[in-house]
Amino acid sequence: MTILAAFSARGQSHAPLHLAAEIARTNGEKVLAAAILEANVTVDSDQVEKEYLTALSARTEASLRTAIAGVHGVEITPTVHLATSVPRGISELTAENDVDLVVAGSSSSGLLGRILLGSVTERMVHGADVPVAIAPRGYPASPSSIQRLTVAFGGHADANRVIASAGELALAWNVPLRIVSFTVRPVWRFGYGVESGADDLAIRKWTERTTEKVVEQLAEARKSIPIPDVDVIIGAGGDWPGAVNDVSWQPGDLMVLGSGAAGQFNQVFLGSAAARILRHAPVPVMILPRA
């Protein structure tokens, strides 16, 4: 199987390659580093246009090889792929190369260390038939591998077996797994203050219910998967950044999100809550197709 680190030929960030290399060191797969040139070359295309694309392809491949030279311990093959669009190129490469994971980068408009979906990654996370991992903007190179998986559990997580899928992944990668759920409780609602004691009670009750659901999901998953003991963590805050940052994160972490229940089976679909978590995550995020 192959990990596809996908680049637009216009993009300069090496973040997808850095994340793909960490994952490859974890699961032993090879990496296909692909720069996709948007072009529509036909037999009727102008000779000057063909020569321009040939020269651009050569420069792009040289840039890829330079990036790859700084990554060690992983088998990486560079390629330049011509397609009518970047999403189509990713789809073609996925089908042609037995790809089981696509890695992309954040938009250059996003904050450093955070994820912002651009137009290409937006389309990828609403229709890919393999998992999609997204590196935060500026994600640095590391000689290490993935150290821990954190699966985000929501109210409809049972719709796509996200805990079971993450458990299988943790076992295959031989890394620890923890389960986190986020709650956002604004201090002000409709102009009136909420007593902190009442708010704390609501969070405790919600935490109890969520923990019970997690235990149920784990018990069901363990009927077929030998998932070891896991930590169950609650991230609470007055807004989504506060809730996500209420959880401790460390280098080598990878967050796992399930696809929304509204998505098609066997395809990635980013639900509204998952989109908020993704936007504020300080670590790379992998989105699993709906099972």
Confidence of residue 273 (pLDDT cuts 50, 70, 90): confident
Residue 102 domain boundaries: 2-135
Q: How far is CA 49 from the centre of its chain?
A: 36
Final residue belonging to a domain, choices 84, 104, 135: 135
CA distances from 13 to 106, 114, 130, 135, 257 (A): 9, 14, 23, 10, 24
Count of domains forming the chain: 2
Q: Is residue 140 part of a domain?
A: no
Within a domain: 143: no
Mean pLDDT in residue range 22-27? 97
176 and 119 assigned to the same domain: no
Taking only the tens place, the pLDDT of each residue in 115-171 is 998 887 887 777 788 999 999 999 999 999 999 999 998 755 445 578 889 999 999
Block residue for tokens 């150290």: 147
- What mean pLDDT do residues 214-235 have? 88
Strands 231-237 and 253-257: unpaired
Q: Tell me, yes or no, whether 127 and 157 share the same domain.
A: no
- Are 152 and 282 found together in one domain? yes
Strand partners, 8: 36
> Mean pLDDT in the chain?
85
CATH number where 49 lies: 3.40.50.620
pTM, to two decimals: 0.88
> 3-state DSSP call for residue 64?
helix
Q: Measuring CA to CA, how many Å separate 115 from each of 134, 146, 150, 177?
A: 7, 18, 16, 22
Helix (H, G, I), strand (E, B) or coil at 261: coil
CA separation (Å) from 162 to 118, 150, 157? 25, 11, 6
Round the CA-based radius of gyration of the chain to a whole number and report it: 21
**Pair (77, 192) in one structural domain:** no
Report yes or no on 33 lying in a domain: yes
Q: Are residues 32 and 161 in the same domain?
A: no
> Are 15 and 131 members of one domain?
yes
Give Cβ neighbours of residue 15 (< 8 Å, ≥ 6 apart).
105, 106, 135, 136, 137, 138, 139
Both 162 and 126 in a single domain? Answer: no
What pLDDT, on the 0 to 100 scale, is given for residue 174?
A: 95
